Structure 1
C-alpha cells in the first residue's frame, strides 16, 4: 500500500497535539505503513507513547492470517501460529507474554488496552511472531522481515507457485522441423575388448556403421572374435523406422530386431506394430476426492512438483482430476487451512506397463529366424485392448520351430486389472506353457506386497517358454518403511518355493537397510533349502554391510566411497570379508579398489579403472585371487559421427548407432530473422538442457548432445542465468525437435536484445507521482508476469522483456484497498532496434469519490 506521506505526518502531528492526562504517559494516535516482506503493505493505526510505537495486535494478526483462538477485551488475546501450533499470548491481567521466543513476563509498557483494541510495542510483537523488524520514524514505516513462516506469506508463496504452474501449462515450445533427406548422416561405433593375460588370443572387435535412410535408421554390425579355437566372426544388420504420429503403423523393423509379442524376443526377420516407439509416461486421468472444512485450499504434488490446486467447495469437499503415469505415482495432497493449518495425505497409484487406457488398441506382428539356440524360427502375433479404464485384455500367439522337434504353438490370453488404485491383479494363460496369477498391493511409498504363482505344463516340446522341469513356483516380495523411524530405515523380503518331480526348493531372504547420517548399514539373512526324496539340504547366510562417503575430513579422502562387508555362516563362522574404496581422482577418471578374503578362494584383490572423455570411454577390470592368479578385461569404445549440416566429423565417447545426436549454435540475432548470419555474435558459456542432458556452449557458441532417443520429441531450453548479458533473452522459451536416427540434427538458438519499458504512475487530478505502487506487466501470449514498485517520484522501469504484446496495470488488490480506479494499457515490444525501448508510459490513477 502507499499513502500520501504528508497526510500521514499531518495526522500524527494532529494527534500529538491533543492534551494528555497526568495519569497517562504522553501518547498520541497516528498512522504507520506496515510492510511485510514477501507480503502486503497496509496503513495501520498506531499508538505512540513517548518514543515507542505500539501496533494494534489483533489487526496485525488478522493481516498476517494468524488464527485468533481467544479474545477478552481488557484482559487477554490468545492466538496460534499454524501449522506448528505455536501459542501466542498477551495476558495483560496476569502479566504474561508467550510466543516464538518462549514464555515470560509481559513488560509493563509492552502492551496497553485502548477500548476493545490491544496495542503491543513493535519489538515485542515482532519477537512474539518470530520476525525481524525495522522502523523509519521519519518515513512512518515499519518493516517486518524473515516472515517465511507466517501463514500469509506461505499462502502468497503458494499463490505465486500456482501462477507459475498456470503459465507453464499455457506455454508450448516452438516446434523446429529439421531438414530431412533420403540419405543423411553416418555414425561408426567401435569397441575393443581383450583379456588381461593374453590380449591377442582372447579379444573381440565390434564395428557398427549406421546411416539415416528414408527417415529410418540403417545399421550394419560386424563382430570379430579371437579365442583358443581360432577366429570367428558374426555379421548382422537392421533398418528401423518409427512414426510417432501414426495410427495404423508406428514402428517397422527389418533385419536383426526385437519382436512384438507377449515378450520381446530377438529375431532376424520383420516386425511391425502400432504401439509407440517410446511409450508416453502419461497413462490417463485419475480422480481423487476428499473432505475438509470450508475456507481450506488443497494442492496436489508428485515428487515435489505441483500438479493441481483446488479450493475446497462450500460443502467442504474437493476433487482432483490428475494425470497419472506408468509405474509408481506417489502423490501427496496438502491441505492449507484459512489460518495456516496444514494437513498431509499420501495417495498412491501404481500402473503396470501392461495396461492401456480405455478404448486403446495395440497390435504387434513379427516373424523370422529365432535368435535363441533352442529354436530356429519364430512367429508372434499380439493384441492388447483397454476394455475399461482399469482393465486391459491381451491375446495372441507365439510359435517356435525347432528343425528337429517341429513346431510348438502357444496361443495365450491375459488380463490385467486394478479393482482399487492400490491393488493390481492379473492372470496369464499360455496353452502348452503355463498358467500364472499375479497380484500387487501398493498402499503407499512405504508399503508394497507382490505375489505370483505359476503352474507349468511339463509336456512342452520346444523349451523356450520355460525349462520344462518345474511343476509350479510361488514367489513373494515385501517392502516396508516404518515412518515412525524417521523414514531412514526400510525392510524388504523375498521368498520363493518351487516344486520339481521328486523334490522341492525354497529360498528366503530378508534385509534391513538403515541410514545413520552419512552411513548406510545393511543387515541380511538368507536361507536356501532343497529336498529330493529322503535327502534334504539347507544353507543359511548372514550378511552385514556398511558404506559411507567421506564428506570433508580428511581432505585427501573427500568424496571417497568406503564399503565394508562381512558374510557369515551361523554354523561354521566367517565365510568372507571385503573392504573397498572408490573415488573419482580426476574429472574423467574413477578408481575402485576392493580387497578381501573368502574361505574357499583365499585372498583376493579387485582393481577397476574407469575413464571417460568426449572422444572415447575405457574400463579396466582386473582381479587377483590366490587360487586363479590374475584375470581381467580391458574395454575401449567410442564413435565417429558425421554432421552433414556442419560438414564435420564429431567424436563420441559411447555407442551411437541407432541413437541420435543434436548440435547447434547460440547467437545474438541482430536482424531478427532467426538464422545465424555472418557477423552475428556467437555466445559462449551458455548452459542448455537438451532432453535430459545438460551441455555448455564452447568459445564459438557451439553445443553438442549425444546419445538421444530418435523419433521422439526432445525439448531444448536455455538457462537464462548463464547468459553473460542481462539484456539478452531467448527468442523462444523452448524448442521442440524430433531428431532422426544415426544423424546429427542441427538447431540454431537465437538470442534477442530484450526490450525496456519506463514511465510513471500519477494521480489524474494533480499529476503528482505515486510512490510504492505495484505495477504489473503481463505478457499476453505466455501469461508470464513481471512486477515493479514505483520509486519516490512514481517512476517505474523494466528491462529484459521478450518481444511481444503486454498489458500494463496496477495490482488490483492494492488499487481496491487504496480506493483507486485505474485502467490497463497494452504495449508492443517490437524486435526491431527502434521498437525495443518504450519510454514515458503513463498510468493515471483516479481517487474514488
Structure 2
C-alpha cells in the first residue's frame, strides 16, 4: 500500500522532470531523499530480524500490507504480507496455514512451527533460528528466507512451492495471490465433504438452521375463503350458472376444509359438498397423519362414488428421496406451466409444448407418496389435480416400517362399507415388501381382497415391482434406464377370469413405453413411443402412439401418430401436427391439423392467435370440423386482478352461439394490522407467515411496547414470495403449504444501519393450516470500539499491526470477542451488546514479544442506543520489557 501509493506519485513526478530538464538537479535531490527514507525493521518497530547465513548483513526495508488470496473453487481471504525493496514477498505462514486448514502449532519460544501436510499427512517443521525446513524425509536449508517480525513468522513465497507444493502467484498491481497446490488442500477437502453432507441432508430433507418455530395449536381458528362464479349463456337453451364457496379453518389442532359447489341445472345433493379434517405431525411415532371426512385412499377395487370415513398413517409428509426415478407423460393446455408436487412439496416444473404434452422425471421417494400436478396458464390460470393412484412404487429405507388404516362408507346409494389395512417394510437397501387387505361389502364374494407387493431395486437404473391380488390379478412392472435419460417401461397384468373387483374385463394387459429426451445445441424436445394391448378370450385390442416434440427458440412443434386395431383387422391411423410460434410484441400463433391416414382425408384443422398483455391475454381461434361440416369461432379475454382471475368469451358455431363469464379468487384473514390478503388463486388449505422485524433495544427477544418495527429491504423464504409492506413494515408470506417446513433467511448486510444485527439469521418454520403465523424477528443494535496499538521507540510512537486484543465482560475472565490491530495499528470491532467490558492486549503475545502494554487493560461501557453506541480511545502503547 505504502509502496503502491509512492510508486504512482514517483512515476508521475519522474515524467514531469523528464519533460522539463531545468529541474534535473531537483530530480537528483528527490531520488536521494527517497533512498534515505527507507527504514529498517529495527528503526520501525525495534523487533528482531532473524537472518541465517545472510549475504547482505544490512537489514532489509519492507512494506507491510494485506493481499487477497484466491483459491479456485473455494473463494478468497485476506492475508498480511511483507514486500521488500528486493521485490521479495514474505507470507505470514501461520495465518496462511490456518486459512488452508493445514495443522500448524507454535514450537519452543515462538521461533518454530510444526504440523502435518499433504495427502500423506507428512510431518513438517520450520526452525526459524536455524533456517531449516523439514518435510517428511526432505530437509531444505534457507538463505535469508525466514523472518520473524513483531512476533509473526514469515516465509518467502517461493519456498512454499519448493517445500510444500503450494504455488503462490503474486500480482503486485491488483495485490492478489492466486494459490494452487499439487495435493488436495484441507480446506478444499472440507468443502467437498460439506457439499456431500449437504446433498445427503437435502435427500433426507434435513436443513440446518439456528432457530426452530413449531406449530401454534388452536382448538378453532377461521382463516381462509375461496370463491368462484361462472355463467354460460347458450342462445338456444337456458343459462348454466355455477357457484363455489370453500372455507378453511383450524379445528381441533388440524386442518378443516369444507366446500360447496352449486350448479343451476342440477339438483343439489351431498356429493357436491366436500369436507375433510386433516392432521399432520411428522415428529410423532405411531401416527403421523390422520384424515376424517371425504378421504382419498389408493384402491384396488373400483369405487365410483365419494368415500366418507377416516384414515391414519405413520408415514411422514416430508420428501425423502431414494435412488432412481420414473417418468409420467400427460396432456395439458398448450404452453401451460405444470408444477409437480410430492407430498405437498414442489420438486419440479416444466412447460407443455404446442400440443399440450409434457413429461416429468419423478424421483422415487421413501414411503407412501402422493403426487399433485398444478397447471398454470400463460396468464396464471390454475388447475390442480390430485394423483394418488399412479405412484408405481413404494420404496422403504432399510428396517423402516410404515402402515396405513382406512375405513368408511361409500356414497353409492347402498351405503357400502369399505376398509383397508396396508404395510410396507424395507428388508434391505434393494428390497421392499408390502401387503395388506382391502374390504368392500358391495362385492359379490365375501368382500375381502388380500394382496402382497414387492419392489426390487438392485441398482438405481433398474426397478422391478410385483403385485399379487388374490382372486383379482397378478402384475409386474419393469423400469430400466438404458442410458442416463432413455427410459424403457414394461408393464404386464394377468386378471382372474370373471373377477368383479376392477372394471377390467380383459384377461391380460400389456404395456410398453420408450421415452427419449432430445437435446442438440439450442434444440430441445423428446420422443415417446407407447404400446398397449388388451387380450380378451376372442380377440385383442391394440393401441400405439408415437410422439415427437421439439422446441427451438420461439418455435415449437408436436407431431403424433395414433394407431388402433383389433386382432388381425386393418388399423385405424390418425396423425396430428401442431405448430406454434411466438412473435414479437407478445403475439403467439398456433395451427393444428388432424389427418385420417386410413382414409387419406383431413378430419379438422384449427388456427389460434393470442396477444399477451401484462396480466392477461386476448385470444381468437377458428376450428373447422370437416367430417361434421361445422365450424367454431371463439373470442376470449382473460385478465388477472390481484384479488380475482376473470375471463369473458363469446363463441359462434354453424348452429349455435354462446357467451361465458367467470371469476374466482380468495381471501386470507389474520395477516396482521387488520390486513386481509386477497389473491386470485386458492387460499383454502394454505397457510402463511407474518414477520414483525423489530429493534430489540433491551436484547430480550420480546417485542416490547417501547420498541418499534424495522423496515426490511429484503426477506428470503424458500419456495415462497415475500411481500414487504410500505405502510406498516410487516413482512407477509402467503400461499404456503400447510404442515410443511419453510426456511427463512436474513442477512445483516440488508439492514439499513451497519450497527444492526439479526439475533437469528435462519428460521425453520412449520406452517399452520388456514392461517398466518406471527413471528417476531428481533434486530439488535450493537456497539463498536476503535483505537490504536502503538510501539514506542525512542519517545516516538508508531502504529503496530497484528496485536491481539481480547475483550472480556467487566468482571469475568470469559473472552467475548477478539480482534487484531491492522497493519497501521488501527483497532476496530463492531458487534458488542450493551454492557460493561474491558479490553486487554493478549498477555501470551506480550510474553512472546517481550513487550509490556500501557495500560494493560481499558474499561469501557456500551450504552443502549438505536443507532449503536460508539466508543473510541481504546489505545495501547507497547514497550520493550526491560526486566
- TM-score by length of structure 1 reads 0.63
Alignment of 1:185 with 2:222, yes or no, is: yes
Alignment of 1:536 with 2:570, yes or no, is: yes
Q: Is the 8 A contact 1:185 1:644 kept in 2?
A: no
* Residue in structure 2 matched with residue 427 of structure 1 by the alignment: 466
Q: Which runs of 5+ in 2 are unaligned?
A: 4-36, 44-54, 56-60, 71-75, 90-96, 101-157, 159-166, 325-362, 368-390, 808-816, 852-856
Q: Is the 8 A contact 1:267 1:378 kept in 2?
A: no
Q: Is the 8 A contact 1:665 1:697 kept in 2?
A: no
CA RMSD of aligned residues (A): 5.9
Q: Is the 8 A contact 1:241 1:251 kept in 2?
A: yes
Q: Is the 8 A contact 2:744 2:762 kept in 1?
A: yes
The whole-number CA distance in structure 2 between the counterparts of 1:828 and 1:284 is 57
**Which of 687, 708, 731 in structure 2 is aligned with 1:660?**
687
- Report deviation, 1:375: 8.6
The whole-number CA distance in structure 2 between the counterparts of 1:644 and 1:664 is 10
**Which of 538, 549, 553 in structure 2 is aligned with 1:502?**
538
Q: Tell me, what secondary structure is at the counterpart of 1:687?
A: coil
Q: Tell me, what secondary structure is at the counterpart of 1:694?
A: coil
* Residue in structure 1 matched with residue 645 of structure 2 by the alignment: 617
* Residue in structure 1 matched with residue 434 of structure 2 by the alignment: 394
Q: Is the 8 A contact 1:30 1:45 kept in 2?
A: yes
Q: Tell me, what secondary structure is at the counterpart of 1:536?
A: coil
- Report deviation, 1:730: 2.3
Larger deviation: 411-420 or 366-375?
A: 366-375
- Report deviation, 1:455: 1.7
Alignment of 1:279 with 2:279, yes or no, is: no
Alignment of 1:195 with 2:223, yes or no, is: no
Q: Which runs of 5+ in 1 are unaligned?
A: 11-17, 19-28, 56-62, 66-118, 120-128, 136-141, 287-322, 328-350, 778-785
- Shift in CA distance, 166/499, structure 1 to aligned 2, threshold 3 Å: closer
Q: Is the 8 A contact 1:2 1:773 kept in 2?
A: no
* Residue in structure 2 matched with residue 342 of structure 1 by the alignment: none
* Residue in structure 1 matched with residue 744 of structure 2 by the alignment: 716
Higher strand share: 1
The whole-number CA distance in structure 1 between the counterparts of 2:462 and 2:792 is 66
The whole-number CA distance in structure 2 between the counterparts of 1:721 and 1:606 is 53
* Residue in structure 1 matched with residue 93 of structure 2 by the alignment: none
**Which of 544, 558, 562 in structure 2 is aligned with 1:527?**
562
The whole-number CA distance in structure 1 between the counterparts of 2:492 and 2:860 is 67
- Report deviation, 1:149: 12
Larger deviation: 232-241 or 360-369?
A: 232-241
Show the 5 A alignment for 1:513-662: 513-516=549-552, 518-531=553-566, 535-548=569-582, 554=584, 556-557=585-586, 560-568=587-595, 572=600, 576-582=604-610, 584-586=612-614, 588-595=615-622, 597-600=624-627, 603-620=631-648, 622=649, 624=651, 626-627=653-654, 629-631=656-658, 634-643=661-670, 649-662=676-689
- Report deviation, 1:230: 5.8
* Residue in structure 1 matched with residue 763 of structure 2 by the alignment: 735
* Residue in structure 1 matched with residue 499 of structure 2 by the alignment: 460
- Shift in CA distance, 647/133, structure 1 to aligned 2, threshold 3 Å: closer
Alignment of 1:673 with 2:696, yes or no, is: no
**Which of 368, 381, 391 in structure 1 is aligned with 2:421?**
381
The whole-number CA distance in structure 2 between the counterparts of 1:691 and 1:426 is 35
Show the 5 A alignment for 1:819-834: 833=865
Q: Is the 8 A contact 1:505 1:530 kept in 2?
A: yes
Q: Is the 8 A contact 1:731 1:802 kept in 2?
A: no
Q: Is the 8 A contact 2:607 2:623 kept in 1?
A: yes
Show the 5 A alignment for 1:229-308: 234-259=272-297, 267-276=306-315, 279-283=317-321
Alignment of 1:409 with 2:445, yes or no, is: no
- Report deviation, 1:364: 1.3
- Report deviation, 1:739: 3.4
* Residue in structure 1 matched with residue 387 of structure 2 by the alignment: none
- Report deviation, 1:460: 1.9
Q: Tell me, what secondary structure is at the counterpart of 2:404?
A: strand
* Residue in structure 2 matched with residue 175 of structure 1 by the alignment: 212
**Which of 455, 478, 481 in structure 1 is aligned with 2:514?**
478
> Radius of gyration: which is bigger?
2
Q: Is the 8 A contact 2:617 2:637 kept in 1?
A: yes
Alignment of 1:795 with 2:822, yes or no, is: no
Q: Tell me, what secondary structure is at the counterpart of 1:497?
A: strand
The whole-number CA distance in structure 2 between the counterparts of 1:762 and 1:608 is 79
